[in-house]
Structure 1
Amino acid sequence: MKTSNKLYRTSPIQSQYHAQDELGQYSFGYAGGPAARSETRDAFGIVRGSYNYVDSDGKIQTQHYVADALGFRVSGTNLPVAPDAPAAAPLAALPGPLPEPVQDTPEVAAAKTAFRIAYDEAAAAAAAAPDARK
């Protein structure tokens, strides 16, 4: 019996593209057959993309992602979504007495007063000093 090492696709890729510049921006993608993908990176380094595929149950699954200063975030048709958080109850509806505000100790009050005096003296001295930039 003779076997073949060729990989057969169900459908050929129908379109693909790639573009890139000297600033690090790029975009690429392809579509065709049971899958598609696209991705872009802008001059700020933010990467956005999406892809889809047919899963083992024959359903088309789509994923969207973003990678930026906030990290990597993904959403997809096959990923769980957190339930909406319940609305916070107003303070009057909470059981029991409301907590009292924290009171400064005598040491903290004295430190705040000393800081305020030192700050005011430094601000007055800075205002009276000749401007060194002139």
Structure 2
Amino acid sequence: MLPAAPGSGRSLRPPRLAGPSIFKTQYHSQDELGQYAFGYVGDASTAHEVRTSDGAVRGSYTYLDADGQLQTANYIADHKGFRVEATNLPTAPLPEDPSPSLLPQPVQATPEVAAATAAHLRAFAEVKAARSR
């Protein structure tokens, strides 16, 4: 034991470290095509991973965190990249409602486009009137 401070009468104990994890079950298999599977079940954690012939890797693991909460992660690594879902990942904040100035505004016709539209509608009305006689 180490003294905490000279004359304090207290002593500091080194932190008690957990003993080695004892695997209750573990396995590993692989073939000549690069496919494999491995995993284990231990006292406070588990893991499992598989690689298929297309190169995709899928797996999961669980463990007890410092607060005693069971944490779980599931992951995939393939041609789409690495993706993970886990119970201890932070969640993104929800977006706030945008201010009206940030919302899309209706399209306004330029004076040239407004004049062309009016001319087209007049011509269309004339043709329609001529055909209805």
TM-score class, shorter-chain normalisation, is: 0.5 to 0.7
Amino acid at match of 1:98: V
Matches within 5 A, 1:41-120: 41-82=51-92, 96-98=105-107
Secondary structure, aligned partner of 2:32: coil
- Unaligned runs of at least 5 residues, structure 2: 2-17, 97-102, 110-133
Q: Provide closer, same or farther for how the CA distance between residues 24 and 85 of structure 1 changes in structure 2, counting only shifts above 3 A.
A: farther
- Unaligned runs of at least 5 residues, structure 1: 2-6, 87-93, 101-134
Per-residue deviation at 1:84?
7.4
Whole-angstrom CA distance in 1 between matches of 2:108 and 2:36: 55
The aligned residue for residue 48 of structure 2 is 38
TM-score by length of 1: 0.56
Q: Does 1:26 align with 2:36?
A: yes
Per-residue deviation at 1:98?
2.8
Q: Provide closer, same or farther for how the CA distance between residues 33 and 82 of structure 1 changes in structure 2, counting only shifts above 3 A.
A: same
Aligned residues: 88
Q: Provide closer, same or farther for how the CA distance between residues 27 and 99 of structure 1 changes in structure 2, counting only shifts above 3 A.
A: farther
CA RMSD of aligned residues (A): 2.9
Per-residue deviation at 1:13?
1.2
Whole-angstrom CA distance in 2 between matches of 1:42 and 1:98: 52
Secondary structure, aligned partner of 2:34: coil
Whole-angstrom CA distance in 1 between matches of 2:108 and 2:56: 45
Matched residues, percent identical? 53
The aligned residue for residue 19 of structure 2 is 8
